[in-house]
Chain A
């Protein structure tokens, strides 16, 4: 996916509401065939960013290009490449699922055939209930109808804002597999937002972490997961304070910490025997060594909550 033209280019986008700036200059690209996860705690500015991406909100500064078209200046050209669900998939409840889809199909300048409507219905597996009023749909069915509505015009960028909100585990799994499938087989760029890391980890190829209106990191999921191999080891020793002082002087490149009268160090597993040897040779006693891997969850919290 390296040399492909990005589907969406976001350049230094800022948003002010009143005098308060809530998005402080976000830049990122989304490429065809990838699932990009937009991760951040509630209130970090995910939804505002997504609303600017689809032209529901005006940005105060910066540029958003979809397939090279400016979302504000060339709205109609840009938006036709986007399909999306923004927060909950709100449909016209007094219409049938099918009527809802036809309603949106009619809004597109290029004719969307009846076959295409039926095709997306089959795609999301709603054939049996599609002629019932949306009123009687479960949340999962509405979510699927939302996906159908977003795919109707074969967009090149699919935007899903918290797509698994309110779904049961089976539904989440289904949506996740489906999203990965369409991105990887049809070359769609998918932009998913969520506040749940565990979910993003399974669904996305790259993850951008947003915190208080700033993009604090963009990494591939692999990098993100692998970077945890530097685990934290905790040594239970006698005279911890002295051990701490000694080791700090002895091996300067490691970050030793003294926590709760225990010595903590972040390093690779292979280094541990050497550390043990060093401590023992210096005449200290070791009662135990334990491994405290930082989970992704902790890392994520660290990134989004810490300073």
Chain B
């Protein structure tokens, strides 16, 4: 155990002693700050009592469209929820969270988990492949440590890097939001729609949950990158292929949603939020189904990496 800990420490040193890592950290912070400034100074909304009239007109439009196009059944569930949420806000005097408020900004900032995915892919793609391309793998593997354990230390380090970046994203969006938009009361609840009724939930918890949902996608894409990195020993291939999958995967799945087999594709299952609000991609998919599929993909990827890394003849 303590040996694994020391191996993980080694991997951390190798990541954080490199300038590139800090550039990525800087970019993440920069993007959050930039978007915060834009929201504050360019797209500022008029903060007033106008939200009441807005919500009332929104609800009127919803009702009209429901009456005009009763055939659009797919959207009705969503529209009904929106109407009920809006009414709840009006009766309880709860203004919706606009982007230029602390909570609103933090909710928006959770989308930057894509940036975290991107940078963690870069780390995952290099952590094994770079040892091969620089030749250091030879000195690394002639130590009294099993190859399986070395690979484990590298995988754990990759995941810890992702965690570090997510924590950075969370705390930076909080601090930047606080500086730019002032404090929002922790009393302001998040309104969720559960089992046919509106419930109030803790806002911070909601934001953490949003990040949690996005981590599922993050872990899967990063594991794909890690596997490609160990199997093909090429960091550029690992980065290219995983980014391609990350950006096109969900779209392709949407395009093919009419086919039933799509539900077995990895990217049809990475967004677990589809079960919380809205309808699943393919009818018949459930949360437990998706988790099973995700686990199967995960086990396959991990087993492939380990099997190949353990057997490989090192000839660099």
Contacts and interface: CB of A to CB of B under 8 A. Distances in A.
A77 B17 CA distance: 32
Interface in B1-27: 3, 6-7, 9-10, 13-14, 17-19
Given A107-B140, A108-B143, 4 more contacts: A79-B142, A94-B17, A95-B17, A106-B9
A96 B13 CA distance: 12
A145 to B, nearest CB: 11
Contact of B142 (A56, A87, A91, A99): A56
B146 A99 contact: no
A57 interface: yes
A109 B135 contact: no
Nearest to B150: A107
B135 A87 contact: yes
Contacts of A93: 134
B241 interface: no
Nearest to B153: A107
A109 B3 CA distance: 6
Given A57-B313, A94-B17, A95-B17, A75 B139 contact: no
A82 B9 CA distance: 24
A104 B140 CA distance: 8
B139 A104 contact: yes
A130 to B, nearest CB: 16
Interface in B145-161: 145-146
B220 to A, nearest CB: 30
Given A107-B143, A107-B144, A56 B14 contact: no
Interface string A50-92: 0100111110000000000000000111011010111111111
A103 interface: yes
B216 to A, nearest CB: 33
17 contacts: A56-B141, A58-B311, A76-B144, A80-B144, A87-B138, A89-B139, A90-B138, A92-B136, A95-B13, A99-B13, A104-B143, A107-B6, A107-B140, A107-B145, A108-B143, A108-B144, A149-B139
Interface residues of A, number: 32
A88 B17 CA distance: 23
Contacts of B144: 75-77, 79-80, 107-109
B315 A51 contact: yes
Contacts of B311: 58
B315 A57 contact: yes
A108 B314 CA distance: 21
Contacts of A55: 141-142
Contacts of B145: 76, 107
Contacts of B19: 94
Which 6 A-B pairs rank lowest in CB-CB distance, beginning with the nearest? A90-B135, A80-B144, A56-B314, A107-B143, A57-B313, A76-B144
B135 A88 contact: yes
B19 to A, nearest CB: 8
Contacts of A87: 135, 138
Interface string B19-37: 1000000000000000000
Interface string B261-293: 000000000000000000000000000000000
A58 B313 contact: yes
B107 to A, nearest CB: 38
Nearest to B145: A107
A154 to B, nearest CB: 13
A88 B142 CA distance: 14
Contact of B314 (A57, A79, A94, A149): A57
Contacts of A90: 134-136, 138-139
